[in-house]
Structure 1
Amino acid sequence: KAIGWYISEYGIAQVSMNLTDISLTPLHIAFDEVCRCAQNRGIRVTGCEIVGLVPKKVLVEAGKYYLEKQQRSIGISEKEIIKIAVKSMGLDDLKPFNPEEKVIEYLLEAENKTTKLIDMTCQAFADETASESPAPGGGSISAYLGALGAALGTMVANLSAHKPGWDEQWKVFSDWAEKGEKIKNELLFLVDEDTKSFNKIMDAFGLPKTSEQEKNIRSKAIQEATKYAIEVPYKTMCKAFEAFELCNAMVDIGNPNSVSDAGVGALCIRSAVMGAYLNVKINASSLKDKVFVDDILQKADDLLMKTKSMEETILTKVNNKL
């Protein structure tokens, strides 16, 4: 639904739209159509404004749309994608546009804000790890190493997508970068999740144990928390291992000037998998469900062997190219 009128006070025409179905008519498509109509009349759109709040999905889709029109990689952070959307549609031309105040999801997150390890500075995260607190520990560090490995592979993909003379290949590298960005974000989630799983064990041990009933409840809670504390680092192993494919591809087809970065990414991934493996093993030693333990340790052992093989393969290729 739309209406347009001329505002003599400002000497401009305004088009006001109410997008009733953004799945059918996304914001960026409506904006481009207004731009097209304006151009046909020899004028241009000088700015755009969103009245009220907007779902994050709308701006993310818009940002990716304009990046692809520019033949730029979409494998970048959500923050940067939204920034592209804001600039491309002129959302900050009339007045400042602050996503933290306009995006529904960001406002909801702000209301339920909790302190996260991944929100810390590098210095603060290192200091917190070095403190006498047992968490964050090896599990969270392993997940972060995996995220850094995926980030390095993604960086090489983005550099390759925009390398002069490689214009025809931008989509290939954009797809790789998008895959790496997804893996990176999932591993960043596991950084905090691993510490949470440890805290759940501590909470379970802190339950009362006076009566037999309390002892049974406490014992069950400890076992459930321990099982989860095994599953989280195993997820880290699996997710980090996925990033090997990215780094391997970047060694093969990526910007040759960044081959060492892809190699360092592979080293981070290898350390992430091996570090998470140690956490799986130490937590598995306390679980009474031996069927579960035997199964997950077998899968972890298999993944560890594949990791060592992938690391050797990638580093051999890297060294041959240096």
Structure 2
Amino acid sequence: MHKYLKWSVDELFDRACSTSPEPGGGGVSAMTGCLGSGMLMMVAKITAGNNKYQDVRQEIEILIASIESNIEALKSLAQKDMDAFNGFMDALSLPRETPEQVDLREEKKQQAALLSAGIPLEMARISLANLQSAAELAVIGSKLAISDVGVGANLLEASLKGALIMVDANLPYIRDKKLVYEFVAERENLALKAEELCKLTLERVRSRMN
């Protein structure tokens, strides 16, 4: 089990308010994505259990499987993000008194920076995937709980945008300019798609709420 999952809710909130590096921005972004995805899962399960929606049962079951898999991935990425930050700090603390030590420190720092940027980028990809599920669920989900799809979509967009800020925070440490360009191009594409999907989902939710 990921160690942060042993924290109580109070402990999580206290840690987030403290000077502790854990959970940090990346971890909180992933957890936010889990909560947003949880809202979608709740609506999907309510829909699956309502005979009124039997005609969309297959589509709902596919959404449930996808959302559940992505929640597990986000849980894992939250822990990986915290571990990556600790690895980066460890790299910065390495000695640099000789040329060999300087080279080793820089190598470790580059490895840690790539992880620290790559992990939140993966969080953003997964949040986007669940935003796509939100857009679909807004059409076929139980009308009784459809407002929670809107809540989930907003949280998933926040999760994605928070993760992308953490990507940006780590890019200055990466020396490979080609990689940096690829990171920036993907982060811009993810942000644009997320805004479009969230807007579409909320339009669908509001339409069914009226």
Q: With the length of structure 1 as denominator, give the TM-score of the two structures.
A: 0.62
Gap runs ≥5 in structure 1? 1-112
Tell me which structure has the larger Cα radius of gyration: 1
From 181, 191, 198, the equivalent of 2:78 is 191
From 270, 276, 283, the equivalent of 2:163 is 276
Amino acid at match of 1:190: L
Q: Deviations over 1:295-318 (max 9, x none)?
A: 111111111011111111111221
Contact 1:231 1:280 in 2 (8 A): yes
SS at match of 1:133: coil
SS at match of 1:259: helix
Q: Deviations over 1:171-210 (max 9, x none)?
A: 4322211111111110111111111111110010111222
Tell me what 1:11 maps to. Answer: none
Structure with the bigger percentage of helix: 2
Number of residues of Structure 1 aligned to a counterpart in Structure 2? 209
1:169 is displaced (CA, Å) by 4.1
Amino acid at match of 1:248: A
Amino acid at match of 2:130: A
From 291, 299, 309, the equivalent of 2:186 is 299
Contact 2:135 2:198 in 1 (8 A): no
* In structure 1, distance between residues paired with 2:97 and 2:137: 59
**1:202 correspondence with 2:86:** no
1:243 is displaced (CA, Å) by 0.0
Tell me what 2:123 maps to. Answer: 236
1:123 is displaced (CA, Å) by 1.5
Instruction: Give the share of equivalent positions with the same residue, in percent.
Output: 25
From 218, 221, 242, the equivalent of 2:108 is 221
**1:158 correspondence with 2:45:** yes
Note the aligned Cα RMSD (angstroms). Answer: 1.4
Amino acid at match of 2:66: K
Contact 1:143 1:188 in 2 (8 A): yes
> Where does 1:13-92 land on structure 2 (aligned, <5 Å)?
none
Amino acid at match of 1:202: M
* In structure 2, distance between residues paired with 1:237 and 1:168: 32
1:162 is displaced (CA, Å) by 0.3
SS at match of 1:208: coil
Q: With the length of structure 2 as denominator, give the TM-score of the two structures.
A: 0.94
Contact 1:118 1:191 in 2 (8 A): no
Contact 2:53 2:142 in 1 (8 A): no
Contact 1:154 1:246 in 2 (8 A): no
* In structure 2, distance between residues paired with 1:121 and 1:304: 32
Amino acid at match of 1:296: F
* In structure 1, distance between residues paired with 2:136 and 2:54: 18
SS at match of 1:210: coil
Tell me what 2:196 maps to. Answer: 309
SS at match of 1:224: helix
* In structure 2, distance between residues paired with 1:278 and 1:165: 42
